[in-house]
Amino acid sequence: MTIHWRELIKPDGRHLVLYARRPIPEDIEAPSPEPAPLHPNSHLRWHPLRGEWVSYATHRQNRTFLPPPEYNPLAPGSNPDHPTEVPAGDWDAAVFENLFPTLTSESHDPPPEIVETRPAKGACEVVVFTQDPKSSLGALPLAHLELLLEVWADRYRVLGARDEVQYVFPFENRGVEVGVTLSHPHGQIYAYPFVPPVPARELEMQGEHFRATGRGLLDETIAAELADGRRILYSGPHAVAWVPVFARYAYEVWVAPLRPQGSVADLTPVERGDFARALKTVLLQYDGLWGRPFPYILAFHQAPTDGWPHPEAHLHIEFYPPYRMKDRLKFLAGSEIGAGAFTADTLPEEKAAELRRVEVTLGSNDDGG
């Protein structure tokens, strides 16, 4: 598959990149709901007891843009009175800098404080998955999912190459249950100037195991899950999807390439094709389970871009769905948030069996292009 892309600058200075499987028209222009640069500025403060950075982005309070209720800023723009974030024209996916970013390369002059402070350098990007506001990640054809994997790979390379960026984190928040108010299919990418706590902890455990055994920890976990078989949702020649034996959320699912590739940018074309099949299988099982859109947080965990080799890293997606049963949310409260200890009242084996009973039709990887 050949991917075409075109980088444009919005009137307020932000970057927009369009991606497509066909050449992109040259006369396309980047719109913006904001006429002039906002010059966002954020800073980090060191939390000494947790040993982590916290971001403060106070410019996010100053949102003055009041669109009409039916306004969708992620729809291809057509109304000049209310410009959106993406242009009309022939493209499949779009990436642009968030208007109110938590992390931005512009950050400067952090205030002095009683703990160490730093400019909150980095990037916050929005990834528009499709022009169709009624679609969803799981409804997109396999070829479109492959294109999105190429988009995530491109952003990993481009953002990861910046000196200030140590970790590129694509994610999707889906559903009002996780706070999403915009239903147009989209994800986000945070490019952090540090390796954030959750992947840092996983890489620490993976690193210890790799140095002790010369083998990947996730690699061994996947081999054990495949041999067991009860929790496998998709098993292909190059990718696997499963409910982990140690799932913290009732419907937690992980997706990974079989070969311990460090990042989405390392996937070969056949691996990407099979990863797309694994991903679409999970998404269709989720939406098919209760016959309605299934909310979740989708998180990519991959190798840091901190300049060091990371042979211990193994690309994977972790899905955290907020429901523990139909119409019953799992609230994260005292034990989970205050102590960090998760408690489940269902078994991963049972939840995997539920998802496995959902019949899915993937189509072909050559469809839709």
Residues 223-262 binding its own copies (CB under 8 A) are 224-225, 227-228, 244-248
Q: Which two tokens stand for residue 321?
A: 């769905």
Out of 3, 8, 232, 299, the residue judged to bind its own copies by CB under 8 A: 299
Closer residue to its own copies, CB minimum distance, 55 or 365: 55
For 229: left if phi > 0, alpha if psi spans -120 to 50, otherwise beta; the answer is left
- Give the integer Cα–Cα distance in Å for 145 and 279: 8
Which CB sits closer to its own copies, 355 or 360? Answer: 355
How many other C-beta atoms lie within 10 A of the C-beta of residue 40?
22
Closest distance between its own copies and the C-beta of residue 341, in Å? 4
For residues 169 and 299, give the distance between their C-alpha atoms in angstroms, rounded to a whole number: 7
C-beta closer to its own copies: residue 11 or 110? 110
Catalytic pick among 43, 184, 186, 301: 186
* Nearer to its own copies (CB atom), residue 45 or residue 155: 45
Distance CA 124, CA 168 (A): 10
Specify whether the CB–CB gap between 102 and 66 falls below 8 A: no
Size of the site for its own copies (CB under 8 A): 76
User: How many Cβ atoms are within 10 Å of 72's Cβ, its own excluded?
Assistant: 15
Residue whose C-alpha is closest to residue 117's, from 171, 56, 58? 56
- Nearest distance from C-beta of residue 181 to its own copies, angstroms: 10
DSSP conformational letter for 335:
I
3-state secondary structure of 82: coil
Q: Which of 9, 198, 270, 353 binds its own copies (CB under 8 A)?
A: 198
- Identify the residue among 109, 327, 345, 359 touching its own copies (CB under 8 A): 345
Identify which of residues 87 and 295 has a Cβ nearer to its own copies in the complex: 295
Q: Is the CB of residue 243 less than 8 Å from the CB of residue 335?
A: no
Q: Which is nearer to its own copies, 83 or 321 (CB)?
A: 321
Closest separation in Å from C-beta 73 to its own copies? 18
Cβ neighbors of 260 (< 8 A, separation 6 or more) are: 216, 218, 219, 313, 314
Enumerate residues 25-84 that contact its own copies by CB under 8 A.
Answer: 45-58, 60-61
Residue 186 appears among annotated catalytic residues = yes
Phi/psi of residue 93, nearest 5 degrees: -150, 155
Q: Which of 36, 163, 333, 359 lies at the binding interface for its own copies (CB under 8 A)?
A: 333
Residue type, 275: F
48: its two tokens: 């000494």
Least Cβ distance, residue 49 to its own copies (angstroms)? 5
Chain residues 133-172 in contact with its own copies, contact rule CB under 8 A: 167, 169, 171-172
Subset of residues 111 to 130 that bind its own copies, contact rule: CB under 8 A: 113-115
Given candidates 72, 105, 135, 173, which one binds its own copies under the rule CB under 8 A?
Answer: 173
Segment contacting its own copies (CB under 8 A): 2-10, 193-201, 268-276, 303-311?
193-201
Residue 224 or 270: which CB sits closer to its own copies? 224
Options 270-278, 279-287, 339-347, 358-366: segment touching its own copies (CB under 8 A): 339-347
Beta strand 186-192 pairing with 167-174:
antiparallel
DSSP 177: G
Q: Three-state SS for 95?
A: strand
Stretch that binds its own copies, among 27-35, 90-98, 150-158, 192-200 (CB under 8 A): 192-200
- Active-site residues, by number, are 186
